[in-house]
Structure 1
Amino acid sequence: MPVLAKRENEIDQLQQEEASSPWREGWKSFKKNKVALIGAGIVLFFVIIAIFAPLLAPYGVNDQELSIRNTPPSFEHWFGTDDFGRDIFSRVLYGARISLWVGLVSVAGSVILGCFLGIIAGYYGRWIDTLISRIFDIMLAFPSILLAIAVVAVLGPSLQNALIAIAIINIPNFGRLIRSKVLSVKQEEYIMAARAVGMSDGRILFHHVLPNSSAPIIVQATLAIATAIIEAAALGFLGMGAQPPQAEWGKMLADSRQYIIQAPWTVLFPGLAIMLTVLGFNLMGDGLRDALDPKMKN
């Protein structure tokens, strides 16, 4: 037993040395990418306003004053008001909470389930791999937004059900990505050595295979958050996501589309918020991809 434990420690040390060096180099490369830092700054900005929305908002998120319906931007109402006399600036701030929450939680669920299925398929192969891969293929055969609409139609329109739908439609993307990575990682020397000393499959998968497959997952997750925000806005626009009076950016666009001519500010600022948030995550994701992917080094 002492010999076995010593060999396992040696394998762990070898794996950690191989994994830590790319992460350090990736971080140095990311810091040199000015565009990626701009994206990270945009994301950080929206995270801060989402956290401190109650302190930053000059009015309550659902405070109504019908006498100032659809008034243009002014010193009292920086982004103007909507058709209920609600302050758009305050609602945009609170909308950041909902959009970021949906994006982060839905992608986290997709990563957990997708990685679990992808690791099992890639590591064990055979009929398990065939079954899981065919399930992924069937899910990918449907356009993502149509599949999300179908899921919400079954569960019922609500923000929580929209979150579940977005998580479900992104599972195949992470599953196929981690599966392809596992197929190559499991042939590495430290994995073969771990098997030779009798290390359990569970420890090999979660202590060796998964950490060495995490770089592409992090990149894909960052980009998927941007996609999830757009999908949540689309479901909200269709009335299948956030429900009144929730201040969700897509729902704000849907409620104001009939006033786009006489009160364009009611759709301008929620649309800009969606665009900037998605842009920030995309720029940061591209920077992470360039930093962590060895093929992009040159």
Structure 2
Amino acid sequence: MAELARNTELQLDTKPKSPWLEAWVIFKRNRLALVGLGIVTFFVLLAIFAPLIAPYGINEQDLSKRLLPPSADNWFGTDDFGRDILSRVIHGARISLWVGFFSVLGSVIIGALLGLIAGYYGGLIDTIISRFFDILLAFPSILLAIAIVSILGPSLQNALIAIAVINIPNFGRLIRSRVLSVKQEEYILAANAIGMSDGRIIFHHVLPNSITPIIVQGTLAIATAIIEAAALGFLGLGAQAPTPEWGKMLADAKGYLVQAPGTLFFPGLAIMLTVLGFNLLGDGLRDALDPKMKQQ
């Protein structure tokens, strides 16, 4: 009986696991990845429940309390208009995550679509799309974003569009290289042989088997997008007053660094922690989902 029990347990242990379950097991072993997941979860919850958590309104002014240091009434102090910095930082999480997520989503959709077409069809189509990616990559990303926002006009929505555009080639080239590899697999060749349509092959076979690197790159790209949005806001090309966007808060506080350092420190800390969280999470996902990392 003991031998039978051991054999049964061995069979259960060697039973094939779901790839996603296996990735989750690997991910849980990475402590830094769990820290990143915790940070990201914290800021996401902060953004979702901002109106309930923030102690004051984001534009609630009291000039008699301007530039106060942290206190029991105002944990992060107040800005030059007497507004509570903690409340504005909390609501700023909603704006920064919104810009980061939707700009990356737009980049993924457009970049992945172009990369799929270029990698699958090749030839002249591949050449044209690849040269388009090269043109976008020829410009420093932040300068290209500034140029786009300058043409469209300073606003948070235009900053989102600019960030989405400058990240398109990153996802396009990534998915293109993956498609070039996947389309040589036997199941793709078999699908072509039986006359399956290109659209069905691309969206039912090629794309699902190319999605892993997009998940990893997308997570890391959100961190970059948050920094780019903050940079545009700092330059006055992103969110406009009185929107409590972290980059704009840094720009408004730069003249009070000595008098009230908290006005600059806390928005900067929020940016740093959010970016750190997404980078740690992205590194953990890469280690868990990349087959080469699994072998190591």
Q: Which bracket does the TM-score occupy, shorter chain normalised?
A: over 0.9
Aligned-residue offset at 1:22 = 3.2
Distance, in Å, in 2 between the alignment partners of 1:41 and 1:187 is: 39
- Asked if 1:118 corresponds to 2:98, the answer is no
Say which of 170, 180, 196 aligns to 1:173. Answer: 170
Counterpart CA distance in 2 for 1:155 and 1:241 is: 11
Q: Give the whole-Å Cα distance in 2 for the aligned partners of 1:206 and 1:36.
A: 31
- Give the percent of matched residue pairs that are identical in Structure 1 and Structure 2: 77
Equivalent residue for 1:24? 21
Question: How far did residue 189 of structure 1 move?
Answer: 1.1
Which 4+ residue blocks in structure 1 deviate beyond 3 angstroms? none
Specify the alignment match of 1:205 in structure 2.
202
> TM-score with structure 1 length normalisation?
0.93
- How far off its partner does 1:198 sit? 1.1
Q: Does 1:259 align with 2:259?
A: no
SS of 2:184's equivalent? coil
Question: Offset of 1:21 from its aligned partner?
Answer: 4.2
1:189-240 CA-to-partner distances (Å, cap 9, x unmatched) read 1111111111110010001100100000000000000000000000000000
Output aligned runs, 1:286-297, within 5 Å: 286-297=283-294
TM-score for the superposition, normalised by structure 2: 0.93
- Shift in Å at residue 253 of structure 1? 0.2
SS in 2 for 1:236: helix
Instruction: Tell me how far apart the structure 1 counterparts of residues 162 and 37 of structure 2 sit (CA, whole Å).
Output: 27
Structure 1 equivalent of residue 142 of structure 2: 145
Query: Whole-Å Cα distance in 1 between the matches of residues 248 and 70 of structure 2?
Result: 20
Quick one: distance in 2 between partners of 1:22 and 1:195? 26
Q: Report Cα offsets for 1:143-164 as digits up to 9, x if no partner.
A: 0000000000000000000000
- Kindly report which structure 2 residues correspond to 1:199-278, keeping only aligned pairs within 5 A, or say none: 199-278=196-275
Give the structure 2 partner of residue 283 of structure 1: 280
- Give structure 2 stretches of 5+ with no counterpart: 1-16
Give the counterpart letter for 1:189 in structure 2: E
Equivalent of residue 80 in structure 2, options 80, 83, 92 = 83
CA RMSD of aligned residues (A): 0.8
Paired with 2:18 and 2:153, the residues of 1 have a C-alpha distance of 47
Structure 1 residue identity aligned to 2:241: P
Counterpart code for 1:103: G
For residues 21 and 183 of structure 1, what CA distance do their matches in structure 2 show? 26
Instruction: Please list, as runs of the form range in 1=range in 2, the aligned pairs for 1:26-65 lying within 5 A after superposition.
Output: 26-65=23-62
